[in-house]
Amino acid sequence: MEINIDLGSRSYPIFIEKLRKIDLDSKVAIITNPKVAGLHLSYLLKNISAKELYIVTVPDGEEYKKIETINFILDRLFDHKLDRKSTLIAFGGGVVGDMTGFAASIFQRGVDFIQIPTTLLSQVDASVGGKTGINNRYGKNLVGSFYQPKAVYIDTYFLKTLPKREFSAGVAEIIKMAVTFDKDFFEWLEKNSLEDKKNLEYAIKRSIEIKADVVAKDEKESGLRAALNYGHTFAHVIENETNYKRFLHGEAVAIGIVMANELAIKLKLLSEDSANRVKKLLKRYSLPTYYRIKDINDFYEHFFLDKKSQNSKIKFVLPKEIGSVVIRDDIDENIVKEILKKFNQG
């Protein structure tokens, strides 16, 4: 299966299939981490030919997504004398993808890069949208660029070694896409299991198509693209409160979806029945749907740390029944806190 991401001169294809042969008439550096390299590098190398090929290994984990690691990658590229015509390949999950894209965007003012995402989350999410970046002490993804890959290769073979929790975290983003943009897809997800390879490939394809459609309409995130943050306004606070340790990102998003749905019910945007269907689907993939908020006022204040909350207004992305979405920045503090109280129990 092939999807074309239409961005004018920066358009690129996404292939969802058994990894095809990649022939590059340039110097190539594969950026990966030791875990992915150990499991899958030999499989990848069988499918790549290049003029010269180098492997750059960076430590695994969100805490290494920082400027020091970017400098390390750049230094290796200079050591190996890569030039403006060289190509970087991101081989790993979201962290490797975000950093490789960022390094590619600033090495010699920009070189080509290819994404081969190895987690479900990065396959459905990070491979579309051109967001690259790193964290710093002020927050997540605060430094980076918008930079598009030349191609994305998605092979579900890599997911066989993915821990079950990480797989489910990826499913949370798929469910997010369905609830906000595509009722038919949501109902398909209710009826079909993602354990099946063909189903999984279809769900990845559909999620990417939805995201691609949104991103093509709003590349630099001025309006519509914010809708992709459904569940994320809450998730970011949960991740922050738990120091990014207790939940995987997709797990926090699952809880955030449930919270956003409660707010949508209160505002009469969503029926209780629909909210229950979403929750049931999340639970089927063992995703968490509850987080005990310790202090409601603290939680509320943390919304304002999010860089997306400009001018001290919090943007809530809320489902308008299943399959469409509204963005609201005018919701009364008391109403939000009333919802937060429901997660302040037990």
Strands 112-117 and 87-92: parallel
Residue 276 annotated to the active site: no
Which member of 176, 206, 232, 315 is catalytic? 232
Residue 80 annotated to the active site: no
Residue 109 annotated to the active site: yes
Q: How far apart are the first and last CA of the chain?
A: 47
| Residue 43 or 78 with smaller CB distance to a copy of itself | 78
CB of 111 to a copy of itself, least distance (A): 11
Distance from C-alpha of 275 to C-alpha of 285, rounded to nearest angstrom: 16
Which member of 27, 33, 173, 206 is catalytic? 173
Where are any strands of DSSP class E within 33-79?
48-57
| DSSP per position, 139-178 | EEEEEEEE---SEEEE-GGGGGGS-HHHHHHHHHHHHHHH
Residue 131 annotated to the active site: yes
CB of 46 to a copy of itself, least distance (A): 28
Which member of 27, 65, 131, 176 is catalytic? 131
| Residue 144 or 231 with smaller CB distance to a copy of itself | 144
Which member of 209, 211, 239, 261 is catalytic? 211
By CB atoms closer than 10 A (0-12, 13-18, 19+), residue 221 is middle
Distance from C-alpha of 303 to C-alpha of 234, rounded to nearest angstrom: 8
| Residue 84 or 217 with smaller CB distance to a copy of itself | 84
Q: How many residues would you count in the chain?
A: 346
Cβ 20 vs Cβ 153: under 8 Å: yes
CB of 318 to a copy of itself, least distance (A): 22
Where are any strands of DSSP class E within 258-298?
none
Cβ 159 vs Cβ 208: under 8 Å: no
Cβ 252 vs Cβ 239: under 8 Å: yes
Residue 249 annotated to the active site: yes
| Residue 78 or 157 with smaller CB distance to a copy of itself | 78
| Residue 117 or 144 with smaller CB distance to a copy of itself | 144
By CB atoms closer than 10 A (0-12, 13-18, 19+), residue 235 is buried
| Residue 141 or 324 with smaller CB distance to a copy of itself | 141
Residue 302 annotated to the active site: no
CB of 109 to a copy of itself, least distance (A): 5
Residue 328 annotated to the active site: no
Which member of 40, 135, 206, 229 is catalytic? 229
Distance from C-alpha of 109 to C-alpha of 4, rounded to nearest angstrom: 25
Residue 246 annotated to the active site: no
Which member of 199, 221, 240, 328 is catalytic? 221
CB of 68 to a copy of itself, least distance (A): 10
CB of 256 to a copy of itself, least distance (A): 21
Cβ 190 vs Cβ 283: under 8 Å: no
Residue 190 annotated to the active site: no
Q: What is the DSSP letter of 285?
A: T
Residues lying near a copy of itself in the complex (CB under 8 A): 67, 71, 74-75, 78, 83-85, 102, 105-110, 131-133, 136, 138, 141-146, 220, 307, 310
Q: What is the DSSP letter of 193?
A: -
Residue 52 annotated to the active site: no
**Enzyme catalytic residues:** 109, 131, 173, 211, 221, 225, 229, 232, 236, 249
